[in-house]
A and B are shown apart, each in its own frame.
Chain A
Amino acid sequence: MTQQPTTSLGRIAADAAARRPRSEAPPGPVIRVRDMDFHYGAAQALWDIELDVPRGQVMALIGPSGCGKSTFLRTLNRMNDTIEGTRVDGQVLLDGANVNSPDVDVVELRRRVGMVFQRPNPFPMSVYDNVAFGPRLHGKSKKAELDERVERCLKGAALWDEVRDRLKSPALSLSGGQQQRLCIARALANEPEVLLLDEPASALDPNSTAKIEDLIFELRGRYTIVIVTHNMQQAARVSDSTAFFLKGRLIEVGSTRTVFTNPARPETEQYITGRFG
């Protein structure tokens, strides 16, 4: 039996869920995190994380500032490696293989697990070169192939119609929202399986935010998306499942509708009703 949504967030989540096509069978997880601890030097940032990310779905990570949700996101493609003194214990499995194993080529891992950051960070080069950057890194240099992929990814990021006439103009001449969609197109060009979005709309105006959210909705199904967001309405609108982090621990994870209408844990309820955070 489905409980009636009691909060506005719950209503949003229910509406969003209603608009989504129902998947035939519950998908298997693409990422499984088991018993994961994370340390910055001596300071522990994550404790005992156990989490499955279902394939082809959108998972939102929510929680107050400093709760470890961004850190968790960055463990999925080992972006934390660039910070000195970090340590991961436990397992992060991508299709069953531990990403932290010494045999894993981090270059290939990051190709498969793309990432988009909070602030749009296009390279100071042309729109075209930004999108072609990833494929070129991985050895694709045939022009026809690149042209096709750039067009496909720009269309995939719902940017093609806006930039088709200025592919050669500098990416920095685009608006903030366009730049962020360009960054998404750039990540898509690597043909990743998982897309990590770290607060992708927090630096954008409401209009651009809406476009990003529409885009996430479009990408759902083809890509597995993990999105960190501060905006709980956004989480309710775009995600299938939601994980709530607090003080480095995963408090609760479940379908978005459930988390926002009928949270299992009191901390979750307190957070989503605005009692703290």
Chain B
Amino acid sequence: MGPADYNRKRATVDKAVALLVRLGGIGVVLAVFFIAAFLVMEAAPLAAGPAVASRGVLVEAGRALAAGVEPFAEASWSLRQDGHLQLRDLRDGELIEDRELFRLREDERVAAVRVAADQGSLAIATTAGRLAAAPLGFVVDYGDELERSHRLEGTAPRWLIEEGAGPLSAFDHQVDGPTVWAVAAAADGAVELIRGKLKIDKLSGEERISFRKLVLEPQGEVRDLALLESGAFVAGFADGSVRAWQASRDFKALEERGAGAPGAPILQIRALIGSGSALVARDDGSVERWMLKLQESGHPVLGQAAAMPERLPGLRGVVPSSRQRLFFALGQDEVWIGQATAGEYLARIPLPARVRGLAVAPREDHLLLLAEDGSLELRAIDLGFPAVTAHTLFGKVLYEGAAEPAWTWQSTGGTDAYEPKTSFVPLILGTLKGTFWALLPSIPLALLGALFTARFLRGRAREIVKPAVELLAGIPSVILGFVAALYLAPAIQDRMLSIMLLPIALVLVTVALASVWARLPLRKRRILHEGLAPFVLAGVYFGIAWAVIGAGPWIEQTLFGTSLRMWLPEGLGLPFEQRNAAVVGLAMGFTVTPLIFTLAEDAFRNVPETLAEASQALGATPWQTAVRVIVPPAMPGVVAAVMLGLGRAVGETMIVLMATGNTPITGMNLFQGFRALSANLAVELPEAPHGGSLYRTLFLSALMLFAFTFVINTLAEVVRVRGRKAL
């Protein structure tokens, strides 16, 4: 092979390697970019508002009092004045079924219909003042081609008031397992609370329902009523006042549960899904959310939870969602979609003027508009993720059953009967808390250790220490978390004081030793050979640590008369948990300290030896050299090391997951656990329904985590590169 061939080959290899390296670099950048893009894509739909199709399917249904659709939104039901329930196929407009659901007397008509918030039942009041409720169920039959056909479920209505005394001014009903509740207001203002309990005779299998009633003397002109949980109801009056009562536990009396100040006359009151709170709509177009807030006395008291910010002109009614704390407010020629938890309107949808009522499909994928002329229009709707707004993520929210607005993370997997609480604040605070307690001991330990190893330790010891510490960083964090949760947490719960005293003791001993040492005559200092000093010191430190940890329980007894973990809750009222931030701080120290140590050690060692030599030749002590000559130019590298440690602590998952108890609380108490963003993802993502609002909320939190660590790491790298250029 001639030299020309050789040169050509050499050039080819050089080019190939350069290309390969470039490809690798581009690949890494692309991977990061794609991860970010994926997170954004999964989280982005949260930001999109509700969208409604501008046109839909139209069918003629005749004059109906109320209408709705079955879950597939392929058939609609409507209830007529004569008590007949009709089922119509929305695909072809054909009448599928017409059933006399409520058997009315002669001259009796249905006066009003009320569909339960979960759309599982409906109730009617008749012109005679009678009240009945019936389950609302549908059956799907699949044909040969798997095409669906729908029919009504065979159900019997139940009369809750069998003999009326004149028309009712308002009523509501609720089906809660085997118990049926109803509340009805007569024209004179008297309110009747009815509880029906279904009992099945075990021998005969016969169903028997037993009713009990409580009557409230007239309190004013009742405009509307809504049943809440456990026999409580809210009544709205013509004078605009809102009042609540609740049946006593033994169902012998009605107890008042507070009142709201008068305002504009009440238009409607509707219980939200789960019956934890009720929407109050007023004639002036305002909508509020009221609920029973638990007081310290143990009795709930009616209070306003949220008020919608705008008044809707010409408000005609509100329809609560059957899945979440959302409602549709029907105005003159528009529908407003309102978020009841956060108290904000998400969208306004213009409607044809002839619409007089609306219903929402059970899956919330369609709106059914009832027109004046008896026609029904089915429009597709995409609500997006209305439960999640900036306010629910970051603001304090008053949730159902709570006394005060709070930042709460309490997601719900499948059911929405419980209000989903998705505040990022406790998670962010948890992450910061874990990071803080992990970095607090790690930063001084790692930096001083790095300075010592780089500039004070000599010979072989130095070549051993660094790889040994780096080896620590290689321990899988799941093992650290496992050890922390199962061994460390119970082992140190009685030695918390020792853990806190240990750094103080070590610093004091060091200072004391140093001052004694400095006073020794030079000749005496030769006893301790310089190469031996670190090992002697290490022995001393181990001894101190052993003594402090051993004496911990004794010190706690002497100081508090009991152990710290008993004294904290009893003496200070601070909770103490076995799996707490101190345990996590210690365990995370094993991952963060080596990282900071090794990067800082590099930074310290990269300061040219010639500078140290110059300093020493000028008569600087090793410490003066370290502080004045080594540390300042190493500072960018040190800052970068700390920032990377910070990034690591923020993203650390397994240790915080296993050793904290994962309670999403807000607060920086060292002796309590917390829940970090990362651990929250690990816990909840596998259980979040794909594409649901929890799923997307979690992706949003992942995006935040990604952005945070990305920014931190980038900044660290920028600082480090700048520092290297300056040196």
A contacts, CB < 8 Å to B: 77, 79, 82, 84, 102-105, 107-111, 114-115, 117, 119, 121-125, 133-134, 137-138, 183, 186-187, 190
Contact = CB atoms under 8 A, between A and B. Distances in A.
Given A103-B522, A133-B618, A134-B619, A123 B629 contact: yes
A109 B621 CA distance: 12
A102 B611 contact: no
B620 interface: yes
A84 B459 contact: yes
12 contacts: A77-B617, A79-B613, A79-B617, A103-B523, A107-B619, A107-B620, A109-B619, A114-B618, A122-B614, A183-B614, A186-B614, A190-B619
B628 A133 contact: yes
Interface string B662-701: 0000000000000000000000000000000000000000
B414 interface: no
B615 interface: yes
Contact of A121 (B523, B610, B621, B633): B610
Contacts of A107: 619-621
A123 B523 contact: no
B531 interface: yes
B203 interface: no
Contacts of B618: 110-111, 114, 133-134, 137, 186-187, 190
Contacts of B252: none
B614 A121 contact: yes
B522 A105 contact: yes
A110 B523 contact: no
B704 to A, nearest CB: 38
B726 interface: yes
Contact of B523 (A102, A109, A133): A102
Contacts of A183: 614
Contacts of A134: 618-619
A131 to B, nearest CB: 11
A44 to B, nearest CB: 20
Given A115-B617, A186-B614, 10 more contacts: A79-B616, A82-B613, A102-B526, A107-B621, A110-B616, A111-B619, A121-B614, A187-B617, A187-B618, A190-B618
A107 B633 CA distance: 23
B633 A133 contact: no
Nearest to A183: B614
Interface string B596-630: 00000000000010110111111111001000110
* Category for how many chain B residues contact A: 20 to 34
A190 B617 CA distance: 11
Contacts of A125: 632
Contacts, number: 70
A205 to B, nearest CB: 20
Contact of A124 (B459, B521, B613, B726): B726
A137 B531 contact: no
A121 B531 contact: no
B614 A117 contact: yes
B572 interface: no
A37 B621 CA distance: 26
Contacts of B458: 84
A115 B726 CA distance: 26
A223 B521 CA distance: 31
A102 B613 CA distance: 22
Interface in B622-648: 624, 628-629, 632-633
Nearest to A120: B610
B727 interface: yes
Contacts of A108: 619
A104 B522 contact: yes
Contacts of B621: 107
A119 B610 contact: yes
Most buried by B among A124, A183, A186: A124
Contacts of B617: 77, 79, 110, 114-115, 117, 187
A124 B619 contact: no
Nearest to B620: A137
A123 B619 contact: no
B180 to A, nearest CB: 84
A119 B614 CA distance: 11
Most buried by A among B611, B617, B632, B726: B617
Contacts of A102: 522-523, 526
Contacts of B616: 79, 82, 110
Nearest to B614: A121
Closest 10 CB pairs of A and B: A121-B610, A115-B617, A110-B619, A111-B619, A102-B523, A134-B618, A121-B614, A107-B619, A124-B633, A84-B458
Given A79-B616, A103-B523, A137 B611 contact: no
A165 to B, nearest CB: 23
Nearest to B727: A124
A44 B196 CA distance: 107
A104 B619 CA distance: 13
Contacts of B629: 123
Nearest to A189: B618
B58 to A, nearest CB: 81
Interface string B492-532: 00000000000000000000000000000111001000010
